[in-house]
């Protein structure tokens, strides 16, 4: 009888520890996935910010973030007009309501994007001036700043995950599992660092190409 009780106790303890182990491993994966999500957001933000940097070629993204006064409400330009680029040097803004043309021009002036709008009563036209060598170098510096900001976000995501892994180690997660999780997180960080560098290199080439 005592043997049966002992075996039952050992089985219970085994399955209890197994469930705790499986639960903790699931938590490790959740924190890993959370870090991936944060790093992806950092890349998306980087791409969005770089798109705003004028590289000499017309792009609707140059107008991202511009808000116009639409019936008293600050509204994104793209929500009140169609924006397209008929050629590499021209941006055409076709407002859905002609009476918003003045507000659109005013918003573009206020945004100080280095282009002067003109209109023919139907649409607003922006001519993208060619970049000077000095301006290109300044833009490259700005690109590097945005890249470093992205890497900081990646590092923060890594730090947050590793802190959670260490807490789990103190709560019973095996040391080898903690170490493996930290190594996987470092590999993930290196992967996203490489992605950031690739995005920066592409943008710098775009800017410096005359």
- Indicate whether 83 and 186 sit together in one domain: no
Question: Is the pLDDT assigned to residue 164 strictly greater than 70?
Answer: yes
Whether the CB-CB separation of 192 and 43 falls below 8 Å is answered with yes
In angstroms, rounded to a whole number, what is the distance separating the alpha carbons of residues 146 and 82?
28
CATH of the domain at 90: 3.30.1360.40
Question: Is the pLDDT assigned to residue 2 strictly greater than 60?
Answer: no
Question: Is the pLDDT assigned to residue 18 strictly greater than 90?
Answer: no
Boundaries of domain holding 82: 60-127
In angstroms, rounded to a whole number, what is the distance separating the alpha carbons of residues 141 and 149?
13
pLDDT classification of 53: cutoffs 50, 70, 90: confident
Least confident stretch, 4-8, 103-107, 113-117, 122-126:
4-8
Q: Determine the pLDDT at residue 11.
A: 43
- Indicate whether 71 and 99 sit together in one domain: yes
Whether the CB-CB separation of 208 and 140 falls below 8 Å is answered with yes
- Whether 3 is covered by a domain: the verdict is no
Question: Is the pLDDT assigned to residue 13 strictly greater than 60?
Answer: no
- Whether 4 is covered by a domain: the verdict is no
Give pLDDT tens digits for 200-209: 999 998 888 7
Average pLDDT over residues 57-70: 86
**CA dihedral (114, 120, 123, 128) positive or negative:** negative
- Indicate whether 120 and 139 sit together in one domain: no
The pTM score is 0.67
- Indicate whether 140 and 45 sit together in one domain: yes
CATH of the domain at 28: 1.10.132.20
pLDDT classification of 24: cutoffs 50, 70, 90: low
């Amino acid at each position: 009888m005592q043997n049966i009780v002992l075996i039952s106790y050992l089985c219970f303890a085994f399955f209890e520890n197994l469930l705790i182990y499986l639960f903790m491993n699931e938590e490790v994966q959740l924190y890993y996935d959370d870090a991936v999500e944060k790093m992806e957001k950092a890349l998306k933000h980087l791409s969005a910010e770089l798109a705003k940097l004028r590289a000499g070629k017309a792009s609707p993204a140059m107008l991202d973030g511009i808000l116009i006064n639409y019936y008293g409400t600050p509204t994104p330009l793209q929500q009140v007009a169609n924006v397209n680029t008929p050629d590499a040097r021209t941006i055409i803004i076709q407002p859905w309501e002609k009476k918003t043309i003045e507000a659109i021009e005013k918003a573009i002036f206020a945004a100080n994007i280095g282009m002067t709008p003109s209109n023919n009563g139907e649409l607003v036209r922006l001519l993208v001036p060619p970049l000077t060598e000095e301006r290109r170098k300044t833009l490259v510096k700005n690109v590097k700043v945005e890249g470093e900001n992205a890497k900081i976000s990646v590092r923060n995501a890594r730090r947050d995950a590793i802190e959670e892994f260490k807490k789990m180690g103190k709560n019973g997660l095996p040391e080898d599992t903690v170490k493996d999780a930290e190594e996987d997180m470092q590999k993930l960080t290196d992967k996203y660092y490489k992605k950031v560098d690739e995005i920066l290199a592409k943008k710098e080439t775009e800017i410096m190409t005359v």
